[in-house]
Amino acid sequence: MSLSPNSGPRRDGLRPELVVLHYTAMPDCDAALRALCDPAREVSAHYLIRRDGQVVALVDEGLRAWHAGAGEWRGRGDVNSRSIGIELDNDGASPFAAPLMDALERLLPGILARWGIAPAGVIGHSCMAPGRKIDPGPRFDWHRLARQGLALWPEGRGALPIDRGRFRTDALAYGFPDLADDLLLSAVRLRFRHGAGGAFDGRDCAIMAEMAARMRA
């Protein structure tokens, strides 16, 4: 039985093929828990991980939790019906607590195994809803997850000739929505180049070329 009432059947026979990571952006975890279980808020997730590492199961994995909202990934919408949502107790500005990250690393392998989700299917809310959402934000350690085989991270360090058309093709092949140039670049950098600023460059191109190639492999 689900702790949160904010859920329903997955639509059109869809099954989880993604895990979407969020941060709560709430004053404390108890406030987030109340919000995620409040019928009037119409928001939920499958799991909430507290800063101390406690995992709270809110919605049965077989059900559709209401966490992703509008957006798409790999050209397909209704991300709620195609995903497991995990809320992380974090304000968006602070480092993620070590016990929380440890708990996430324990939780993810079981989810990926149960549903046959590849590491490439672990994405951020910001990835599928750029411009509307920025969580789990620039403080989240994607590289750490990748070292455990729980997400993707670029292995190469080089640059390619600047080619906006190729960059866009590769970004969409990886999964990002079709966006205006500046928003697409921001979404890619938030996911793969924390803190990078300035003009579009060859490193951006190299990252997306590598990630697109890994999706096609």
Task: Report how far residue 121's alpha carbon sits from residue 109's, in angstroms, rounded to the nearest whole number.
Answer: 12
Q: Is position 17 annotated as part of the catalytic site?
A: no
CA dihedral (168, 171, 177, 178) in degrees, to 10, reads 10
Task: Show the tokens assigned to 151.
Answer: 């997400």
Catalytic residue among 87, 105, 155, 210: 87
> Cβ neighbours of residue 194 under 8 Å, at least 6 residues apart?
138
Handedness of CA 106, 108, 109, 114 (dihedral sign): positive
Residues noted as catalytic: 87
